Chains A and B, each alone.
Chain A
Amino acid sequence: RKEVEQDPGPFNVPEGATVAFNCTYSNSASQSFFWYRQDCRKEPKLLMSVYSSGNEDGRFTAQLNRASQYISLLIRDSKLSDSATYLCVVNGYSSASKIIFGSGTRLSIRP
């Protein structure tokens, strides 16, 4: 089993739709969680951190479920510009070598 698993997609949804992805992790001691966004042939960029109580940034909502060991990302009122690959990032320890990137979920928003 991979340490961090994501549904690779692609998710193909119409503009304005709400879409959600999950990311599961295997290490129950994981401490920090993030969502990064990666556009085609570009470098990843931080989208948002994920806090225990859940957090929202505009149309984006991130949640953490420690009991079931997954994090989620919800995008409301999706825009064409949201088309990208979303990478789940999990850190098991306070060590860079334990930072695990998921393979990403590809999202495509159609007009």
Chain B
Amino acid sequence: GAGVSQSPSNKVTEKGKDVELRCDPISGHTALYWYRQSLGQGLEFLIYFQGNSAPDKSGLPSDRFSAERTGGSVSTLTIQRTQQEDSAVYLCASSLAGSWTSGGTEQFFGPGTRLTVL
């Protein structure tokens, strides 16, 4: 079946512009995560959606970052007034459930959007 898809795959923008990144999770997955990965670094948690619950936004680095998930499916991450330090790969993942009990539930990642802010 189809995996997690993200668009665009690459985005080059100028400092100060707004960008929107899209994530289509696997059908039926209730949990959706956004991460950011800078070159040679680990994944930085940004935001988490679980079903109809209020999202966990605790990882968003500033108020320039926001995300929505419409209808419990597609999610959009928006970065306003982009800065050069926003340059990174933005990864979206989904899982069947968000409860990380013993054993956990596997996160399936999309291919990412590589954002370059000039």
Contacts and interface: CB of A to CB of B under 8 A. Distances in A.
B72 to A, nearest CB: 16
Interface stretch (A14-22, A67-75, A89-97): A89-97
B93 to A, nearest CB: 8
B112 to A, nearest CB: 6
Chain B: interface size category: 20 to 34
Q: Main SS of the interface on chain B?
A: loop
A87 B42 contact: yes
Given A51-B103, A96-B56, 8 more contacts: A31-B100, A43-B112, A44-B91, A91-B100, A94-B99, A97-B58, A101-B42, A103-B42
Interface of B: 31, 33, 35, 40-45, 48, 50, 56, 58-59, 91, 98-104, 106-107, 109-112
Interface of A: 4, 8, 31-32, 34, 42-46, 49, 51, 87, 91, 94-97, 99-104
